[in-house]
Structure 1
Amino acid sequence: MTTIRAFHKILSHQERLKNQAQVNYQEAVKSFEQVATKLYALLQKKERVETEYNYYLQASGTVTTLATHYAYIEQIKKQIEAVQVEVNRERFNMEKKQEKLTEAHVEVKKFEKIIEKKKSNIIALEVYQESQAMDEVSNRQYFSRDR
C-alpha cells in the first residue's frame, strides 16, 4: 500500500507543473493582448484614414490626394489581415495553454482527493484497531473476573 508521503511528493510535483502551466498561460495571455492591441490600433487608424478619405471625396479633393489615401487604406487593410492571422494564432495558443492549465489543476485536485481519502482511511483503520483493542481488553477483564 502506497504511503501518504509518496502521494504528497506526487502532489508537489503536480503543483509545480500547474504553476508552470499558469506561468505559460499568463505569458500567452500577455502575448495575445499585445497582438490584439496592435490590431485595435490598426483598425482605429484605418477608421481615421477612411474618415479623411470620405471628407476629401465630399470636398472634391485632388485625384492625387484621393489616390494616396486609397492606397494607404489598402495598405492598412493588408496589415490588418496579417495581424488578424497573428491574433488568431495567439488566441489558439492561449486556448491551448488554458487547456493545459485546466488539466494540471484537475490533476492536482485528483491527488488532493487521493491524499484526503488515504488520511480518512488511516483514521478509520486507527479507530477500528482502537475499538478492537478495547474489545480485547474488555474480554480479558471479563474472563479474568470469571475465574
Structure 2
Amino acid sequence: MSNSPGNAADDHTGRSVVQPNGRPRPLSPHLQTWRWHITMTASIAFRVTIGAASVGAIFVVAWMAAAAFGPDAYAAFLGLAASPLGLFVGFGLTVILISLLLNGARHLINDTGRALTIKPADLLSSIAVYAPIPLAVLFWVALFATGRVSL
C-alpha cells in the first residue's frame, strides 16, 4: 500500500473506507464529525411531525366515517374524543399541527433565499423546535377557558 493521501488503508482517523471495488472514499459526515445544532433538531422534528400528521389523518377519517354512519356512531366518537385519552390525543395532534405550520413557515422563508445565515437560521429553527408545545398549551387553555372543551 502506498502512503498517498487518498489511500484508506493508511487513514488512521477512521474518516475513509474502502469500497467493494477497492477504491477508497471518505465516510459521510455524521454525529461523530459534526456537533449537534438546532437546525438539525428542527429538520428531524419536521420529518417526525410529517409522519405523525399522517397517523393523525386516520383520526380525521374516523371522525368523517362516524359522521357518515349516523348520529349514534357520531355520538360514540365524540364521547371517545371527550375522554381523557381523546383529549390527550387531541393535544398531541395540536402540537403536531403547530409544529408543521412553524416548520413549513421556516422552509417557506428559506425558500425565498432569506434567513440562510447562521443567526436567522438558528432563530427560525429555535422557534420551530421550542414553540409548538407552549402554543398548544395556550390554545388548549383557551379552549377550556371558553367552555368549548371540558373534562
Q: TM-score range by the shorter chain?
A: 0.3 to 0.5
Bigger radius of gyration: 1
**Greater helix content:** 1
Task: Give the TM-score of the pair, scaled to structure 1.
Answer: 0.37
